[in-house]
Structure 1
Amino acid sequence: MAQQLPLDELGTVIARIQGLLLTEEKVTDAVQYLALAAKESVTGTIGAGVSLLDARGRRTSSGYTDKTVELADAAQYQHGEGPCLTAWATESPVLVQDLRGDGRWPAWQAAVRHLPIRSVVSVPLLAGKESIGALKLYAATAGVYGPSSPGLVELFAAPAATLISHIQATEAPHRMTEALQASLYSRDLVNRACGVLMERHGLTHGEALQQLMRKARETGSPLQDISASILAGTPALRD
């Protein structure tokens, strides 16, 4: 018999999920917290998982509460079918009240036959007009989830999807900034090493850079490592 949370409890759950996600700076942490919150929020759930997918349906990030969910999810990606992928692709909730009598995903169902899964509810994570993944809940007995369950899960999946999408968007500039900082550091290192060689051997900047690059090729070492050895006083280049 499917259960529904009272409105006041549902509001508390939504606020808790939003609060957890807002404190996270990484998508991997955010999806893990969402999976844990979903499991604790819906009675009868033995495990929950969150999968973020790209435009081709390839998983980019995931969170799960236990090994059962991990194995069930892995089987979906291996066979290219299952309630999670269907919810993501159709942008509609998927309800399975008894997996043994449901024939929509034969390969996936055969793969998870040994797992304690009888009923499933999966909803898409919709951020604006984009489906960025899916949230799924598993139960060990049939009939745990009913017609009202997808709507209930969607109520807290919707704001969670928006927040996760925001975290995804803010992570990209951070990654770009880190890469830019590394690039600038490397360039500065190389330029300073060129300056040392120019002063030591009376070379032009271009000639010094060519020597550094030649040594890097000969030794199979990164250019910044050769430059660092010059600045540290190691005779990486012969006179």
Structure 2
Amino acid sequence: MESLLQRVVDLTTVVLPGHLEASITLLIDDRPSTPVFTGQLALDCDESQFSRGYGPCLHAASTGELVEIADARTETRWPDYVQRAAEHGALSSLSIPLPVSDGIHGAMNVYGREANAFDDESRSAGQRFAPYAGVAVANMHAYQSAQNLAGNLQVALESRAVIDQAKGILMERHKLTADQAFQILAGVSMRRNTKLRSVADELVTTGELIGGPPVP
């Protein structure tokens, strides 16, 4: 998915006229990032906005509004950012919101080294590219969410397995019920301020349970 996003920004700079750089800005839980970009100029401009907490790409991503800066030298919005953008060499920019999904927002940003770099045709072309980037971002986010869920489930299954083993050891040693064995593990966990999984793993690995009942 990241390769597809990279392809989208690369093609954007090829299709649109002028000497341009492009990037994708993502806002996930209000945390901004730039997963792909075509050159250092685009990355510098994105990160300059991130450090300030505002700017055209963040505005486009959070509000769903297309934002154009025709000339950074005369732009009155975000004055400290546009001054920095001009110093980097970006005299104009176009930030196009991406149609993504709930909980994640994005914008495709195109930075021009000349003022008034965008006309009606280039704006239209940029807006035609945005849905492709939006689909790629949504798919990438869904894939990463699925991976995280699978990882959490795996950890939960492994934790349950080692806890069940520890319970079995206590049941055999002390002739306890499953519930009694669990209560002992939970009590040790609370007294030692240690995760239940760690207490169980210690017992399974070493055969010892510090803070538990004496071994007969």
TMscore range, shorter length: 0.7 to 0.9
Alignment match, 2:22: 48
Alignment match, 1:166: 139
Give CA-to-partner distance per residue, 1:165-217, whole Å, 9 cap, x none: 23323433332232122212211210111011110122222232232223334
Q: 3-state DSSP class of the match of 2:54?
A: coil
Whole-Å separation in 1 of the counterparts to 2:8 and 2:31: 16
Whole-Å separation in 1 of the counterparts to 2:102 and 2:156: 36
Q: Structure 1 212/131 Cα, relative in aligned 2: closer, same or farther at 3 Å?
A: closer
Pick the aligned partner of 2:149 from 176, 181, 187. Answer: 176
| TM-score, normalising length: structure 2 | 0.79
Alignment match, 1:189: 162
Pick the aligned partner of 1:59 from 28, 31, 41. Answer: 31
Matches within 5 A, 1:67-82: 67-82=40-55
Q: 3-state DSSP class of the match of 2:97?
A: strand
Q: 3-state DSSP class of the match of 1:163?
A: helix
Question: Is the contact between residue 127 and residue 165 of structure 1 (CA under 8 Å) also seen in structure 2?
Answer: yes
Alignment match, 1:104: 77
Give CA-to-partner distance per residue, 1:2-38, whole Å, 9 cap, x none: xxxxxxxxxxxxxxxxxxxxxx2xxx66545544443
Matches within 5 A, 1:214-225: 214-225=187-198
Whole-Å separation in 1 of the counterparts to 2:91 and 2:67: 14
Task: Return the offset for 1:164.
Answer: 2.1
Which structure 1 segments of 5+ residues have no match? 1-23
Task: Return the offset for 1:127.
Answer: 4.1
Task: Return the offset for 1:130.
Answer: 10
| TM-score, normalising length: structure 1 | 0.73
Equivalent AA in structure 2 for residue 189 of structure 1: V
Percent identity (aligned) = 26
Q: Structure 1 102/169 Cα, relative in aligned 2: closer, same or farther at 3 Å?
A: same
Question: Is the contact between residue 126 and residue 133 of structure 1 (CA under 8 Å) also seen in structure 2?
Answer: yes
Question: Is the contact between residue 34 and residue 43 of structure 2 (CA under 8 Å) also seen in structure 1?
Answer: no
Alignment match, 1:198: 171
Alignment match, 2:114: 141
Equivalent AA in structure 2 for residue 103 of structure 1: T
Give CA-to-partner distance per residue, 1:122-149, whole Å, 9 cap, x none: 1111248998310001122223333322
Question: Is the contact between residue 31 and residue 51 of structure 1 (CA under 8 Å) also seen in structure 2?
Answer: no
Pick the aligned partner of 1:226 from 199, 208, 211. Answer: 199
Q: Kindly indicate whether residue 130 of structure 2 is the aligned counterpart of residue 157 of structure 1.
A: yes
Which structure 2 segments of 5+ residues have no match? none
Question: Is the contact between residue 116 and residue 140 of structure 1 (CA under 8 Å) also seen in structure 2?
Answer: yes
Q: Structure 1 130/215 Cα, relative in aligned 2: closer, same or farther at 3 Å?
A: closer
Pairs aligned (count): 211
Equivalent AA in structure 1 for residue 16 of structure 2: V
Task: Return the offset for 1:46.
Answer: 4.5
Whole-Å separation in 2 of the counterparts to 1:128 and 1:230: 45
